[in-house]
Amino acid sequence: MKIALQESLLPGDTLAEKLDFAESIEVEGLEVGGRGFDAEKVAQYEKALQGRKIRLTTVCGQSTFDWLDPDVVKRRASVEESKRVLDGCGQLKAVGHVIPPIFGPPRLPDLWPIKDAIALEKDLLVEITKELAAYAHQRGTLVLLEPLNRYEQHLLRRQADGVEIIQRAGDPPGVALISDFFHMHIEETNTPATLRECDEYVAHVHMADNTRMQPGTGDIDWKAGLQALKDINFKGYLAYECGIQGERREALRQSVAYIREVIADLS
């Protein structure tokens, strides 16, 4: 398991300064935002990472989140935006594109007695997943479906919800699951057991404590969770997606050191 930090968490006025700090605490990965992630940005990251040990691991989100909008023009635009992100992920040899398919309540109408909004959303998401998984696979990267907690999303809330979509899409290469400890702490009854159940579907991890601050500042049992990841032979990135409590540099140093100690003590 390797540690990654989101670019927005890193102290520094320039990307170079941010990367210098990340490497000073031996962080292996960088997760960046997907808003406006175009060819120019890809070139900037490619240049900034040349000669460094740190790599770009994932692109998180996009600007639209309209995959499941009733307007077909919005849907297509959002899917095409995801394809542009996947182009960049492939070029940078990133793990993939982290994407929750929707925020908030359903936008599609309830078409009872044919299908309700949730059933329609799932059918639509399965077809979009098939299309984007094939596109990602051709570029050597992944679409990473992200379940969120009930206060942010209604559709994919538990890890099993994400697995259901992947399985209904035919378990294609090019799509996997991202497991977020913060969201799981709200939605799952047993995070370690859930990780073991999801096993081969987990390709990336987000970390924040139960307060959504940096790991080690709340009550999540990181030893149990990371042991489960080790048990399923997870060798990917643990990416910090959290707020920072305390002075940023020292807080990140302490938290990263804490997570490394937990990993070192796993059986």
Can you give the pLDDT of all 267 residues of the chain as single tens digits?
999 999 999 999 999 999 999 999 999 999 999 999 999 999 999 999 999 999 999 999 999 999 999 999 999 999 999 999 999 999 999 999 999 999 999 999 999 999 999 999 999 999 999 999 999 999 999 999 999 999 999 999 999 999 999 999 999 999 999 999 999 999 999 999 999 999 999 999 999 999 999 999 999 999 999 999 999 999 999 999 999 999 999 999 999 999 999 999 999
* pLDDT tens digits along 247-267: 999 999 999 999 999 999 999
Q: What is the pLDDT of residue 267?
A: 92
Superfamily of domain 2-264 in the CATH hierarchy: Divalent-metal-dependent TIM barrel enzymes (3.20.20.150)
Q: What is the pLDDT of residue 71?
A: 97
* pLDDT tens digits along 181-216: 999 999 999 999 999 999 999 999 999 999 999 999
Q: What is the pLDDT of residue 74?
A: 97
The dihedral of CA 163, 31, 53, 227: what is its sign? negative
Q: What is the pLDDT of residue 240?
A: 98
Q: What is the pLDDT of residue 25?
A: 97
Q: What is the pLDDT of residue 170?
A: 98
Q: What is the pLDDT of residue 213?
A: 98
Q: What is the pLDDT of residue 131?
A: 98
Q: What is the pLDDT of residue 42?
A: 97
Q: What is the pLDDT of residue 212?
A: 97
> Domain ranges in the chain?
2-264
Q: What is the pLDDT of residue 101?
A: 96
Q: What is the pLDDT of residue 9?
A: 98
Q: What is the pLDDT of residue 105?
A: 96
Q: Is the pTM for the entire model greater than 0.85? A: yes
